């Protein structure tokens, strides 16, 4: 007679994890006083051949703005107000989104010119081997930094 062995498989328990105490750091308060303007609303504007998504309080770097065509117009200076009238989209953050075809009539985004400067230098090199051809040029693109004040 042959004997048969029976073995019992016992389920192994997963190792217990240590409980982590909750952080006692102050949590930010959310309420009417701390909500941003337009409750998270934003706008999409077009300037300098590019489109930018902006909200109140944002600072954006844009292409250098051209002077007005009138004879009395002067170059913009830091601290001047800037108005963007090519508004493509406005979202108030709650319930409505206005989309222009291509622009929204009467919509404006106003801001303040914070800084006028030039970006870092970009080096352009043209080279052809075995023909003694080497050209090197540098370029610094001018920019305006604008802080968005109001979307209307």
**pLDDT tens by residue, 54-110:** 999 999 999 998 876 566 678 889 999 999 999 999 998 888 899 999 999 999 999
Q: Give residues with Cβ within 8 angstroms of 40, minimum separation 6.
A: 55, 93
Regarding pTM above 0.85, the answer is no
Q: How far apart are CA 60 and CA 57, in angstroms?
A: 10
For residues 48 and 82, the answer to whether their CB atoms sit within 8 Å is: no
Note the pLDDT of residue 118.
Answer: 96
């Amino acid at each position: 007679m042959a004997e048969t062995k029976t073995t019992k498989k016992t389920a192994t328990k997963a190792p217990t994890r240590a409980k982590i105490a909750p952080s006692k750091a102050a949590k930010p308060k959310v309420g009417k006083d701390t909500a941003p303007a337009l409750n998270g609303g934003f706008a999409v504007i077009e300037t300098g051949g590019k489109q930018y998504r902006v909200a109140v309080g944002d600072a954006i770097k844009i292409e250098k703005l051209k002077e007005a065509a009138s004879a009395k117009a002067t170059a913009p200076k830091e601290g001047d107000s800037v108005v963007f009238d090519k508004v493509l989209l406005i979202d108030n953050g709650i319930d409505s989104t206005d989309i222009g075809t291509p622009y929204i009539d009467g919509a404006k985004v106003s801001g303040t010119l914070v800084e006028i400067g030039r970006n870092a230098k970009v080096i352009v090199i043209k080279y052809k081997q075995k023909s003694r051809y080497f050209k090197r040029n540098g370029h610094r693109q001018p920019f305006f930094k604008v802080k968005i004040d109001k979307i209307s």
